[in-house]
Amino acid sequence: MRLAHLHLPNTTPFNRVSQIQQALTTRLLTHKKLTSAHSLTSQEPNFTLPNTPPPPPDPTIITFTPNPVYTTGRRDLPPSNTSPPTTTTNLSLPPALEPIRSLLTSDGTNPPKAEYRPTLRGGQTTYHGPGQMVAYTILDLKRLGLTPRCHIRVLENSVIDLLGRYGVEGFTTEDPGVWVSGGQGREQAKKITAVGVHLRRNISSFGIGLNVTDEPMWFFKQIVACGLEGKEATSLQGVGVGGLEIGDVADGFVERFVERVNKNFACGGGLSGGED
């Protein structure tokens, strides 16, 4: 089975990535619906199959760096909307972002410092932007032999493997995401990667956000990221690994992801890497 890797090399509007993700997710869901209908019809008496079902679309990982954006997961969605309004005057924000409303709205002279985008992924409020490598996995988990929990573990372990490539020890804790030592052991751990996914009929979307440089740190300090009071964020640069290109980090993550799926959870032919 081939894995398509779509890397967007420039800073990309979050809305554009969301549209690409939605198109890829819809394609997988449509194929699943067609396959299911074909299977049911084939069980009817005296029915002869005119054609075999079309081959399934390739699973895809989108890697990118978005414009500055705060996103909320399902646990932090404001009750009045699941999509942002077209104007900032009636911007409905969750409690986690209300204290920084001024950063998300124009004062009439200066544009907002960041966007706000509600999403249907799991988790709470986080930040994405320049200096970060975001990877969205659009996969049919059932076809890959992955349970939802295994999918999260593959994402986390792929990041940990990638960090190890740079000489950094990453680990998981009882809190979500991937963490690194804050200088005084794991008790002072700092978060280097956020993890949040959405599933519909075993089709995954969203994924991870890995901090590569310190550029996102100011934005993280404006919020309680992921609802974790007293926890700090860091980056590869922050732990002494500088000079990295986002594209190289993205390629490394996809390689580690393919290795993890094939080693631990692949079903059938497994995955092979590819570029789009």
Q: What is the pLDDT of residues 38-56, one digit of tens each?
A: 554 555 555 555 566 678 8
Instruction: Please identify every stretch of the chain with a pLDDT value under 70, giving residue numbers as ranges.
Output: 1, 36-53, 76-90, 183-187, 226-227, 264-276
194 is known to lie in a ligand binding site: yes
Count of structural domains within the chain: 1
Q: What is the CATH number of the domain that holds 256?
A: 3.30.930.10
pLDDT, tens digit (0-9, with 9 covering 90-100), for 216-248: 999 999 987 766 777 899 999 999 999 999 999
123 is known to lie in a ligand binding site: yes
88 found inside a domain: no
77, amino acid identity: L
Query: Which residues form the catalytic set?
Result: 226
Residue 245 belongs to domain spanning: 4-39+53-81+94-102+112-265
Q: pTM of this prediction? A: 0.86
87 found inside a domain: no
Question: What is the β-pairing status of strands 115-118 and 125-128?
Answer: unpaired
136 is known to lie in a ligand binding site: no
249 is known to lie in a ligand binding site: no
47 found inside a domain: no
57 found inside a domain: yes
